[in-house]
Amino acid sequence: MKRNLTLVVVFAVCAIPVLSQDQPQITPRVAPTASESRIDQPATPQPSQTLTVPAGTKIPLTLKQAISTHSARVGDPVYAQTAFPIVENNRIVIPEGTFVQGTIRSIVHPGKVKGRAQLQMTFTSMIFPNGYTVLLPGAVEGVPGSNDSAIKDSEGTIEQSGSKGKDAQTIATSTIPGAAIGAIADGGKGAGIGAGVGGVVGLATVLLTRGPDVALGPGSSVEMVLERTIEIDHARVQRNPSAQ
């Protein structure tokens, strides 16, 4: 009886490891971290922020400095600001007050007898308030509000109007005093001689005087036209300057 009991105990002790090996191993499930969840999720495509401003778009500018064919030189810088916002696809792509920089391309000085003053400038870049810069080719399309200057050709050459009316007035104002002096000097008989002398003086003044210069003062309105299509990154236009 003792022997049988001993065998039963030994069998039970030996069976314990076997039974423990047959039990399935359970591994606790760990929740994924926030960073792993972000990696597993597909990236959401962002809508395009590039806006196109087509060639031929007219942009009103205000000059920030005076420009004159009398003192300007080829290569001198031109500084201006947009005077009105430009809108494309219901978005303001070029805000009012955007800086525009350019340069003087050519200058023609007025002649003494004929030849009108001419000025040509081109615009090369736009600088947004946060510093974002867009290169561009822009030409002068018009000078609104100017009674003395007009655009001569498709290249945006500004030409000063002639001075025929002013020349005629100069001759006339010189003739009248001469006639008066001649009349007084010879009892009226020298009026014709005096008038002739005065006319000669007036004509000489006209021949020795150059015509008027193209003169655009600070605050003058200039209309710029884009010569090719430009693309503007709307996200960069809206970005804070400290994030550039």
**Alpha-helix residue ranges (DSSP H) falling in the chain:** 2-22, 34-40, 164-185, 191-208, 234-238
Mean pLDDT for 184-207 is: 52
Closest CA to 149 of 211, 208, 209, 210: 211
Rounded CA-CA distance 220/217 in Å is 6
Domain ranges of the chain: 50-163+213-243, 164-208
3-state secondary structure of 1: coil
Q: How confident is the model at residue 228 (pLDDT cuts 50, 70, 90)?
A: very high
DSSP state of 166: H
Cα–Cα nearest to 62, from 144, 157, 149, 155: 144
Spatial CA neighbour of 117 closest among 127, 125, 107, 126: 107
Write the class of the CATH domain 50-163+213-243.
mainly beta
What pLDDT is stored for residue 236 in this prediction? 87
The whole model's pTM is what? Answer: 0.62
Predicted confidence band at 170 (pLDDT cuts at 50, 70, 90)?
very low
Amino acid at residue number 178: G
> Where is average pLDDT lowest: 60-69, 104-113, 197-206, 223-232?
197-206
The tokens for 114 are 């004929």
Q: For residues 128 and 93, is the Cβ–Cβ distance under 8 A? A: no
Torsion of CA 15, 18, 23, 28, to 10 degrees: 120
**Number of Cβ within a 10 Å radius of residue 160:** 22
How would you label 176-199 residue by residue, b for 16+ Cβ within 10 Å and e otherwise? eebbebbbeeeeeebbebbbebbb
What is the spatial distance between Cα 233 and Cα 213, in angstroms, rounded to a whole number?
Answer: 40
CA torsion 59-98-215-66 (nearest 10°) is: 180
**For residue 221, which of 119, 148, 120, 144 has the smallest C-alpha distance?**
144
CB count in 10 Å sphere of residue 151? 16
Contact between 226 and 57 under an 8 Å Cβ cutoff? The reply is: yes
The mean pLDDT value for 58-87 works out to 96
CA 173 vs CA 131, 152, 200: distances in Å: 56, 32, 12
Q: In this predicted model, what pLDDT tens digit does every residue of 172-193 receive, in sequence order?
A: 555 555 555 555 555 555 555 5
Q: Is the pLDDT of residue 86 over 80?
A: yes
